[in-house]
Structure 1
Amino acid sequence: MKLFKESELIEKKEYLELLSEKFSNISFATSEVVNLKAILNLPKGTEHFLTDIHGEHIAFNHVMRNASGVVKRKINDVLGKTLPKDDITELASLIYYPEEKLQLIKKNKTDMADWYKVTIYRLIQVCRDASSKYTRSKVRKALPKDFSYMMEELLHEDEERFNKKNYYNKIIDTIVELERADEFIVRLSAVIQRLTIDHLHIIGDVYDRGPGPHFIMDTLINHHSVDLQWGNHDVLWMGAAAGDKACIANAVRICLRYSNMDILEDGYGINMLPLATFAMRAYRTDPCEKFMPKLSENEILSDSDKNLLAKMHKAISMIQFKLEHSIVMDHPDFLMENRQLLDKIDYDKFTINIDGETYQLNTNSFPTVDPEKPWELTEEELHVIDRLQTSFLTSDKLQKHIRFMYAKGSIYLKHNGNLLFHASIPMNQDGTFKTVELYGEKASGMALMDKMDKWAREAYFSLENNPCGTEFLWYLWCNINSPLFGKDKMATFERYFITDKKPHKERYTPYFTMVSEERVAKMVLEEFGMDPDDSHIINGHVPVKTRDGESPIKANGKLLVIDGGFAKAYQKTTGIAGYTLIYNSYGLQLASHEPFESVDRAINDGIDIRSTTSVIEKVLERKTVGDTDIGTKLKKQIYYLEMLIQAYRKGIVKEKL
């Protein structure tokens, strides 16, 4: 115990008086010090890192339930020597989907009483292993209130101890006799899932492409410990929720492109009727072939539905291009003149000049465009986007999700020796940090990231007297200097209207090649005040071409890019269906996932996501809580508690008996 000088105690007396309100005497303060010092020696909790989920809620939900394969490994560790493979598979699927699996089992079992007793006993053993590195207090907080006493007794008693054997067994027998076994199994399975993932990091892009980002957000809100680093697709929806019309148009367009109307209408209650009515009238003679929705494998739409979505898709796209053109005119400091394309079209020849080259457009149908002022919205278009803006601003569920994203999210995070951000840091060709000037301020590196984080918050929360406005969230979505995007352009217009693929090319900024060099990765870590020899950068955003032999481990292990293709749209590129980075007390592991077949097959046939786990970095000495950021905070608490104890003993602060 550190000994403090009396002058130090007197100097901190005011703070110690406040601390004494919670720890009123030597006994209470001493007990807390003993508790905290013991906690410092527990193994660190397991962190899971996922990125670029892109609305694939079914696969995400399964990965959360099976903890990227960790749950099944725990079953094997605890019961692998006594249970056959089929029983292990059945127990795993029961933990993943307890309610559904119980219904299936009850159809096929005649003697449920014995099955319940054996199964509860096995689940308790697995749960005991999952909880073994946590304090009783932390485990207690994870237990459901109505079963807390029973679960705690079963978890912390040895069923083979002579004096307690009958007591232990009777608890299980009584649960079954009182017909609470189903509920007990459901709740216990949830506890196992919770204890297996101590903390969850989402490295950006919850939104867009897949059908269920709103379901993913519901899961994250209910998770016990989570943080998010915003991706450009997330900030797009943050901008839409703030009422930015260009962000709204982009978000709606992407939903229509992937036939995800359910996200808008059912998920967030967005009224799509004004857009549908306008699109059918304005584009009634236009086949809108380039705007046909991209359907998932088993999705079937009638021709009339596809035609309606295509017309709505083109209608909102043209509104988007007009709005973006106007933003660029109003914000020359965005340096995005290359995105002003509507005035580069020859509306007689239907050609466009881009970077000095002329390209033929694939359509001559621009019924809402005035060639003299092509960026101006028609009255009908203005009515449509105003109605959409009202729907986005008044969607309670969307606002709840986005406020959570702000509360738990940031542009970057430093956590337990890892630097987390979605995409990039603006960088020059020589690997130095690029100085960006915006809103009259210049910054680079970490200072730039901090300013952009601040501006992103002001864009949503400070709608009045806000120097940057909601347009800054659109800037983060698609600007070359956005750390969430990091490309020279977003070539949406070119991909829709130009058949020649040359102008479709989107070039990544220098960060993405330079940071693969170890010296540059270490420079980045040093910029953020981290130990370059004992820290890592963790990114997403760029799908790793695993099928072509590309490794997610770069810069001699300093950089980990873990976008493995959760989004089905990227799986042809990556060859897998996502990564999970796992950081436990033994080091770093990377789990690569194969595509998830279905929940039905997981329940009925025990078909799990096949995950291959490889060790990235193994520590020589097992990491403890004391080695983590939480440990640093606990040590600070211990420091002041020991100071309080000495202040009590010297009479500088009086005990409250």
Structure 2
Amino acid sequence: MDASETRYLELLSRLFPSEAKASAEIINLSAVLSLPKGTEIFASDIHGEFEAFSHLLKNGSGSIRLKIDDTFGDELSFAEKRSLATLIYYPREKMDLVLPQVQDERAWFSTTILRLVEVCKQASGKYTRSKVRRALPPEFAYIIEELMTENNYAVKREAYYADIIDAVMRTGRARALVEALCLLIQRLAIDHLHIVGDIYDRGPYPHTILDTLAGFHSVDIQWGNHDIVWMGASLGQRGCIAHVVRNCARYGNLSILEDAYGINILPLAGFAQRAYADDPCVAFGLKGNPQLTEREHVVNVKIQKAMAVIQFKVEGQLIDENPSFELEDRKLLDKIDYERGTVLLDGVEYELTDKVFPTIDPADPYRLTPEEENVMRRLEQAFVGCEKLQRHMRFLLEAGSLYKIYNSNLLFHACVPLNPDGSLMEVDVFGEKLAGRALYDALEHHVREAFFSPDEAARTRGRDLLWWMWLSPGSPLFAKSKMATFELYLIADKAARKEVKNPFYTLLNDEHVIAGIFEDFGMDPATSRIVCGHVPVKVKDGEDPVKCGGRVLTIDGGFSKAYQPTTGIAGYTLISNSYGFVLAAHEPLESTRAAVENELDIHSSRHVVERVEERTRVADTDTGAKLKAQIADLERLLEAYRRGLIPERG
């Protein structure tokens, strides 16, 4: 045994100071390896839709209702099962409705608590007792453990359980115990959660989603393009800030800035109403159907136009400052004939849909006016100085990455950029040509440099690259030929607006191409899968989210209400458990209130993507590989104890 191994085993002996302790841990870990793998849930493109997303966490993407069916079979009626499921999802709200109508509260609590305990037993079946114990709410840990470890052969146990429930009732803690049991079932239904990008933009509650994820027991996040632009905005990157504010106004969601993050937009609102006072802003109508007053609607429209013009200006400046980004074709303000109201794009002259630009100097179109400069300076300070936003961004950095390899699944938000022939597309990143996994790794390095590098130049490069990742054809998060914001607003011709997807999307069923991607990421093409989102799957038009014989799963099904007319559904979740893979397509959730009052669940159609012949065990997972390595280390420590190479500590 060399010196480095001796030092390592001596450190390990501090955790396991005796032969008995090391042996016990080996036995425990070996037992865990034989258990069925936990349930993983994959979701993408949530886009601020907290109610629908929260409901899917509460119902375990439909798995809790299945556990109720497995637990009670025909013992309970359909209505009783539905009522029990609603209670598990929304315990406080459901008890507020039910208990005032109950004549015998003790009988209701006694029946309900024992039913919940039975569901807990069913949900905990694939976990070790120690893992379940760690999940127990501390206040009720002893009581719940006693109820869950019922021994039918013990004498007078029924009286023992009755005494427990009587004591809970007598002390006024019955409601709290019911809630604790319901939350435990929710906790046990999902072992690990994967968010495959785009928490932000479109919907009104991304901040609430992030608060929920930050408190979730086990989660990873792959950054989406809408997440990365908020990350850039949090660092004061002007191109990112301009997009974020404009997009919030476009969807009538300025409350995200004002109420959620305390970002003062009054200076911007005042400027927009002065600069565009008599301007109908004809090309800047709002998306969706935001519930705004007439005055709020007008203010949002004017802010949207003001920020769009500022965005085009600051982006032109960024393009000049970063010639290696190769985005010169996105500078269009200097291509406008302001007298005729036309723009020259790719050699074609188009009439503008909006010709009122009071803040643009045709001789110097990318220069901000003093008022625009003041607006941007104050927005920068507000974004950088917002403690809550900075906390959320730190969480995205801690729990997130650009891609993840997990249990033979390659997770990323949008694509691996490809050439038309299916080869990996090389992209210039500050003078270095990169493709595939190397591109992903380099971009993530620069993202973290933007936040943490002690070198100001490196932080500036990283900040600007965050903006580049939002809209560049070479970005694996964007994956289109251009970001046609200018054209979507100001040119009516749909041909000019067209954003051509990267060839990745036309080659998703090419087994050779997909195998090449797996090999580049160091994965086995025969057993690996890609899980991605970004481009909504048009289910209503017959599009199948399962590609390449199940090797690729595209799971953007339209959580965002803005996309649901395109997809025809209200989101996908992918479920991976010990039996295989299931893709669930969800119908819209009417509202949380309706779910509670009318006992409505999200209706989901489930499609089995793969069913394994033998249940997948922990030993077959990435966690299993780590446990096996720990067992090997402990066996070396055990041998060292037995040979007297390392003394036992107690």
**TM-score normalized by structure 1?**
0.97
Question: 1:80 aligned to 57, 65, 73, which one?
Answer: 73
Alignment of 1:164-203 (within 5 A): 164-203=157-196
Equivalent residue number for residue 301 of structure 2: 310
Deviation at 1:30, TM superposition (A): 0.4
Equivalent residue number for residue 464 of structure 1: 456
* Distance (Å, rounded) in 1 between the aligned partners of 2:128 and 2:3: 35
Question: 2:334 aligned to 343, 349, 371, which one?
Answer: 343
Q: Deviations over 1:123-173 (max 9, x none)?
A: 000011101111111111111111111111111223564453322232122
Q: Deviations over 1:214-251 (max 9, x none)?
A: 11001100100000000000001000011101101100
* Distance (Å, rounded) in 1 between the aligned partners of 2:185 and 2:114: 14
The one-letter code sitting in structure 1 at the alignment partner of 2:333 is: L
Q: Indicate the SS of the match to 2:59.
A: helix
* Distance (Å, rounded) in 2 between the aligned partners of 1:277 and 1:135: 60
* Distance (Å, rounded) in 2 between the aligned partners of 1:166 and 1:377: 78
Does structure 1 conserve the Cα–Cα contact (< 8 Å) formed by 2:313 and 2:367?
yes
Q: Indicate the SS of the match to 2:15.
A: coil
Deviation at 1:363, TM superposition (A): 2.0
Equivalent residue number for residue 29 of structure 1: 22
Question: 1:390 aligned to 371, 381, 393, which one?
Answer: 381
Equivalent residue number for residue 620 of structure 1: 613
Question: 2:488 aligned to 484, 488, 495, which one?
Answer: 495
Does structure 1 conserve the Cα–Cα contact (< 8 Å) formed by 2:447 and 2:462?
no
Question: 1:95 aligned to 85, 88, 110, which one?
Answer: 88
Cα 1:500–1:587, aligned 2, differ >3 Å: closer, same or farther?
same
Does structure 1 conserve the Cα–Cα contact (< 8 Å) formed by 2:282 and 2:354?
no
Query: 2:243 matched to 1:250?
Result: yes
Deviation at 1:260, TM superposition (A): 0.4
Deviation at 1:469, TM superposition (A): 3.7
Query: 2:411 matched to 1:420?
Result: yes
After the TM superposition, which parts of structure 1 deviate over 6 Å for at least 4 consecutive aligned residues? none
Does structure 2 conserve the Cα–Cα contact (< 8 Å) formed by 1:239 and 1:473?
yes
Q: Indicate the SS of the match to 1:64.
A: helix
Q: Indicate the SS of the match to 2:479.
A: coil
Query: 2:13 matched to 1:43?
Result: no
Equivalent residue number for residue 471 of structure 2: 478
Equivalent residue number for residue 455 of structure 1: 446
Q: Indicate the SS of the match to 2:164.
A: helix
The one-letter code sitting in structure 1 at the alignment partner of 2:628 is: K
Does structure 2 conserve the Cα–Cα contact (< 8 Å) formed by 1:9 and 1:652?
no
* Distance (Å, rounded) in 2 between the aligned partners of 1:146 and 1:301: 44
Deviation at 1:110, TM superposition (A): 1.6
* Distance (Å, rounded) in 1 between the aligned partners of 2:372 and 2:300: 17
* Distance (Å, rounded) in 2 between the aligned partners of 1:500 and 1:523: 38
The one-letter code sitting in structure 1 at the alignment partner of 2:363 is: E
Q: Indicate the SS of the match to 1:141.
A: helix
Equivalent residue number for residue 138 of structure 1: 131
The one-letter code sitting in structure 2 at the alignment partner of 1:389 is: E
* Distance (Å, rounded) in 2 between the aligned partners of 1:570 and 1:620: 37
* Distance (Å, rounded) in 2 between the aligned partners of 1:281 and 1:311: 9
Query: 2:622 matched to 1:629?
Result: yes
Cα 1:80–1:500, aligned 2, differ >3 Å: closer, same or farther?
same
The one-letter code sitting in structure 2 at the alignment partner of 1:654 is: P
Q: Deviations over 1:359-383 (max 9, x none)?
A: 0011221000010110110010000
Equivalent residue number for residue 598 of structure 2: 605
* Distance (Å, rounded) in 2 between the aligned partners of 1:418 and 1:302: 46
Q: Indicate the SS of the match to 1:470.
A: helix
* Distance (Å, rounded) in 1 between the aligned partners of 2:546 and 2:423: 22
* Distance (Å, rounded) in 1 between the aligned partners of 2:174 and 2:4: 58
Deviation at 1:357, TM superposition (A): 0.3
The one-letter code sitting in structure 2 at the alignment partner of 1:202 is: I
Does structure 2 conserve the Cα–Cα contact (< 8 Å) formed by 1:159 and 1:168?
no
Q: Deviations over 1:634-657 (max 9, x none)?
A: 111110110111111111111112
* Distance (Å, rounded) in 2 between the aligned partners of 1:306 and 1:160: 68
Q: Indicate the SS of the match to 1:590.
A: strand
Equivalent residue number for residue 363 of structure 1: 354
Does structure 2 conserve the Cα–Cα contact (< 8 Å) formed by 1:239 and 1:460?
no
* Distance (Å, rounded) in 2 between the aligned partners of 1:571 and 1:541: 14
* Distance (Å, rounded) in 2 between the aligned partners of 1:502 and 1:317: 21
Query: 2:430 matched to 1:444?
Result: no
* Distance (Å, rounded) in 2 between the aligned partners of 1:152 and 1:465: 56
Q: Any unmatched runs of 5+ in structure 2?
A: none
The count of aligned residue pairs is 648
Equivalent residue number for residue 556 of structure 2: 563
Does structure 2 conserve the Cα–Cα contact (< 8 Å) formed by 1:98 and 1:185?
yes
Identity %: 50
Deviation at 1:350, TM superposition (A): 1.0
Query: 2:527 matched to 1:534?
Result: yes
Deviation at 1:302, TM superposition (A): 2.7
Question: 2:395 aligned to 387, 391, 404, which one?
Answer: 404
Q: Indicate the SS of the match to 1:21.
A: helix
Deviation at 1:104, TM superposition (A): 0.3
* Distance (Å, rounded) in 1 between the aligned partners of 2:114 and 2:499: 56
Does structure 2 conserve the Cα–Cα contact (< 8 Å) formed by 1:292 and 1:306?
no
Question: 1:155 aligned to 124, 148, 158, which one?
Answer: 148
Does structure 2 conserve the Cα–Cα contact (< 8 Å) formed by 1:563 and 1:579?
yes
* Distance (Å, rounded) in 1 between the aligned partners of 2:28 and 2:189: 23
* Distance (Å, rounded) in 1 between the aligned partners of 2:294 and 2:392: 34
**TM-score normalized by structure 2?**
0.98
The one-letter code sitting in structure 2 at the alignment partner of 1:415 is: Y
